[in-house]
Amino acid sequence: MLAALLYGAEDLRLEERDLPELAAGEVLLKVGAATTCGTDLKVWRRGGHAKMLKPPTLFGHEAAGQIWALGEGVTGWQLGDRVVANNSAPCFNCFFCQKQEYSLCANLSFNNGTFAEYLRVPAAIVRHNMLPVPPHLPDAVAAMTEPLACVLHGAARSNVQPGDRVVMLGDGAIGLMFVAALARLGAEVYLFGGSTARLQIGERLGAVQIFNHHKIADIPGLVKRFTDGWGADLVVEATGSPQVWELAIACARPGATVNLFGGCPRDSRISLNTEQLHYSELTLKGVFHSTPQYVRSALELLASRELPFELLISEQRPLCDLEQVFQDMKARRVVKVAMLP
């Protein structure tokens, strides 16, 4: 099979590999579509990830497809079933799982390799995080279950209330999904980003106002002007930049929640004004990954077609174009691309 392997920073290679052999409880998928992700872009540029993978490794983590082969002992599934397999599964036994903090599972198992013709799905994911795709839902849309699950988890952890004024920093796919998720909860979402086309998608997903940060000298000052001088009730950071983490805190009102969602490079540091943090009673949250509950909620939301998430898929391209697709993502010419093996 043809598969993409990451060897290091911006070192992505397509290679012919043998079909994976299945252990008991595992499933082999024939990939229908694999979507690119901002996390993939960061990993490609940085050459690794603190949690998900270490090169050299099969690459990609969002996909939907058909069951091609079943490992010993797999029940409840048939060859040809269309499914989406999340990229991880918790163990349900460790200290954190016992507290139902599944995204913090000490034994969280990740699976990579969606940029390929076939994908091996480990037994834990088959048991807990592989779901049937409704017949009307295209593979390319179903493949976005994983990032949307992370966003729904992040939105649930954000203390948002109907009518809250929310500042969303970042117009990548995750930021745009957050716009949709928070607007759906009744928040007024103000989106800041650097691309006119992406900001316009944000409007269609529910942003009440959009701002191109390239044209704004003082973002915290602007936020105070449209929030009666106070700052936002909730600020969500989705760029993975330490400078933007600090900017997010500066945009928050006293008593606000700041969701620091974008993962920064390893060993990054930020500066905090302790007076503001203490006397303004700010809540700073780092929110990571998702849980099985939100994987199911994400697929249900995608299947409902309530929101036009297909707007996030800029193109569909053959797997042989993967290197060029990442160059296009680096240049911000595309949001997400559906790779078709």
Domain parsing of the chain, residue ranges? 2-149+289-340, 158-286
305: its two tokens: 């077609």
- Residue 50: predicted pLDDT: 64
38-46 and 322-330 helices cross at what angle (nearest 10)?
90
Per-residue pLDDT tens over the stretch 207-238: 999 999 999 999 999 999 999 999 999 999 99
Closest CA to 287 of 112, 84, 101: 101
Give the Cβ contact number of residue 255 at 10 Å.
13
Q: Which fold has domain 2-149+289-340?
A: Quinone Oxidoreductase; Chain A, domain 1 (3.90.180)
Rounded CA separation 108/269 (Å):
25
CB of 298 within 8 A of CB of 149?
yes
**Residue 309 backbone phi and psi in degrees, to 5:** -65, -20
The DSSP H or E segment spanning 315 is strand 313-318
Q: Which residues are 35's β-sheet partners?
A: 338
- Residue 47: predicted pLDDT: 83
Rounded CA separation 187/166 (Å):
7
| Per-residue confidence in pLDDT tens, the chain, 341 aa | 999 999 999 999 999 999 999 999 999 999 999 999 998 998 999 887 767 778 899 999 999 999 999 999 999 999 999 999 999 999 999 999 999 999 999 999 899 999 999 999 999 999 999 999 999 999 999 999 999 999 999 999 999 999 999 999 999 999 999 999 999 999 999 999 999 999 999 999 999 999 999 999 999 999 999 999 999 999 999 999 999 999 999 999 999 999 999 999 888 999 999 999 999 999 999 999 999 999 999 999 999 999 999 999 999 999 999 999 999 999 999 999 999 99
- Residue 53: predicted pLDDT: 75
DSSP3 helix / strand / coil % (the chain, rounded to 5): 35, 25, 40
Q: Which residues are 119's β-sheet partners?
A: 29
Rounded CA separation 299/301 (Å):
5
Per-residue pLDDT tens over the stretch 189-203: 999 999 999 999 999
pTM of the model: 0.96
Closest CA to 172 of 208, 220, 139, 205: 205
Residue with tokens 């990032």: 147
Q: How far is residue 68 from each of residues 20, 22, 31, 89, 172, measured CA to CA in Å? A: 11, 11, 9, 21, 33
Rounded CA separation 48/79 (Å):
34
Q: Which residues are 212's β-sheet partners?
A: 193
- Residue 49: predicted pLDDT: 75
Give the Cβ contact number of residue 77 at 10 Å.
14
Q: Which residues are 130's β-sheet partners?
A: 85
Q: Which CATH superfamily is domain 158-286 in?
A: NAD(P)-binding Rossmann-like Domain (3.40.50.720)
